[in-house]
Amino acid sequence: MDPTGQIDSRSLPRVAEGAEFVPLEDLGGTPHVVVDGVPLPGTVLSLSHRPGGGTPAGLRADTSALIVDRYLDAGAAGEAVGAVTNDHYDEDGLFGIWMLLEQPPRGSPARDLAIAASEAGDFSTWTDPWAPRVAIAAMAMAERATTPFPEVGRALARAGGRDPAGLLYRAILPRTGGLLADPERYRFLWRDEWERVEADIALLDSGGATLEDEPAADLTIVRTPRPLHPMAVHPRTPRTRVLTVTPDGTLVLAHRYETWIEYVSRDLPPRVDLTPLAEDLQRRETRPGRWLFEGVQVIMPRLYLAAGARDAPGPAPSSIPAERLVADLIAFLEAA
C-alpha cells in the first residue's frame, strides 16, 4: 500500500521538530498524536492498530510501528504537533513512539529492527532472531525485578495504583536507540527468556512437539510435553486459534492477538463466542473444574477447564479427548 497515494500530505498533521512524549495524564487537552492507543481529548492524529484507533485508511498496517513507518514516508505537511502520547506501555508502543520522535531514515538498521521487534512483541512472529530478543528486552526494561534503570524503579514506586505507562516511557525512550543499535549489550535482559524460546524451537525441530493444522477451523493443534513459548509456535503457522495439548490431558485453546486488533495484511476469520461450546463441554466433563471461555472482547481469550486456586483458577486436565474437542470446535464454528 502506498499511503502517499491515498492521503493528502498537506492535511496530515506533522510531528514538530523537538516534539516530546507527554504522559496522557499531563496532556490537559493539548493537541497531540497518539501512537498505539485510542483517540483522547486533543488527539489530532491517531497512529494505532487498536480497535477504534481511528488511523487514516491510507496508513493502516498490522502494527502501530508499521503505521508510523508509513506515516514517516507520507510527507506530512499539515499543522505541527509537539506532543506524542500513549495510554499503555508495550513493545509496539515503545518502538512506534521512538520512530515518530527520532524519525530514523528509511532502510536504517534501527528503523527496520524497531518494526520487526514490534511484530515480535505483539504477534510473536519473526524472521530476524534479533527482533524477539529486542522485544523481550524492551519489556524487561519496564519490570521492577529486571530493569537496569533506577528511574524505572522509582517510576513504578511512585505510580501507586495508577498506570505507570507515561513514567515508563519517559524513563525508557531515551535508552531505546541504544537497545536497537546494540542488542547484545542488553543480553542480561533477554537471555533467559530467549533460551526458553530456543529450547522450545529445538523441541519442535526434533519432533518432540508437533503442530497439526486444521484449516477449516483456522486452528493449529500443538501436541507437546510442556506449554511452548508463542515465539516458538507462531512463526510456524498462520492459524489464529492455537490448541495446546499436554500429556496429562490439559487442553487450552488460545486466540492470537492478531484477531483483536485491526489486522489488514490478510483477512482473518472473526472471533466467535465459544461460551455455548464451553457449556456443552461442561455437561460432559467428569473431572473437577469448570469449562470457561474468557470472552471475545478479551485481548487473547482462552477456552479451558478452570480448576485450582479459587481466585485464579488455572487450566486443568480434562476428561474430554483432544480429538473430541477439535471435532466439537469445528462443528460449532461451522454452525455459528
- Please provide the DSSP assignment of 263-288 as one string: --SS--PPP---HHHHHHHHHH--SS
In whole numbers, what is the pLDDT of the chain averaged over residues? 95
Predicted pLDDT of residue 245: 98
How far apart are the C-alpha atoms of 51 and 261, rounded to whole Å? 6
pTM: 0.94
Predicted pLDDT of residue 158: 83
Residue 216: pLDDT band (50, 70, 90) is: confident
Whether residue 2 is predicted with pLDDT greater than 80 in this model: the reply is: no
Closest CA to 190 of 134, 242, 123: 134
Closest CA to 59 of 48, 78, 122: 48
User: Which 3 state secondary structure label does DSSP give 332?
Assistant: helix
C-alpha cell at 164: 505507570
Looking at the DSSP assignment, which residues form a beta bridge with residue 34? Answer: 46, 85
In terms of pLDDT, which residue wins out, 222 or 310? Answer: 222
For 200-214, what is the mean pLDDT? Answer: 98
How far apart are the C-alpha atoms of 89 and 24, rounded to whole Å? 12
Predicted pLDDT of residue 214: 94
Alpha-helical runs (H) found in the chain? 64-73, 91-102, 109-123, 130-140, 150-159, 165-181, 187-206, 230-233, 275-284, 322-335
Predicted pLDDT of residue 112: 98
